[in-house]
Amino acid sequence: MLHQRKDAESTLPVITENTVFGRIVSLEQLISLFDVNRAEGELARLSTLGNTLKKIAALRRVQRATARSHSSKVLSETSMRNQSALLRLIGLVPAMR
């Protein structure tokens, strides 16, 4: 779902559902499929929305180093070499029913 949010500088679109290629992927699916903890799954979920690591750290209210550590763990658990490969993998997750 796309909403408009006003801020001091511009009108920004805000995606309020976790969608990958038009399909909804839940946090629980990511945790279960990739054997990651909740924080790592949330990082993966936020990545699917196009957020940068810096933005994810701000959203999660953690240091960038912590977000980087979570990102490394997700990549390791999924055997992916980079964020793009991870997003392609998540894109293969079946839609929720």
List, in order of start, the domains of the chain with CATH numbers: 2-90 (1.10.10)
pLDDT range class, residue 6, cuts 50, 70, 90: very low
pLDDT digits (tens, 9 = 90+) for 66-97: 999 999 999 999 999 999 999 999 988 886 66
Q: What is the predicted pLDDT for the residue at 59?
A: 95
Q: Rounded to whole angstroms, how far apart are CA atoms 18 and 29?
A: 12
Q: What is the predicted pLDDT for the residue at 25?
A: 82
The answer to pTM > 0.75 is no
Write out the two tokens for 77. 């658990």
One-letter amino acid for residue 67 of the chain: A
pLDDT range class, residue 35, cuts 50, 70, 90: very high
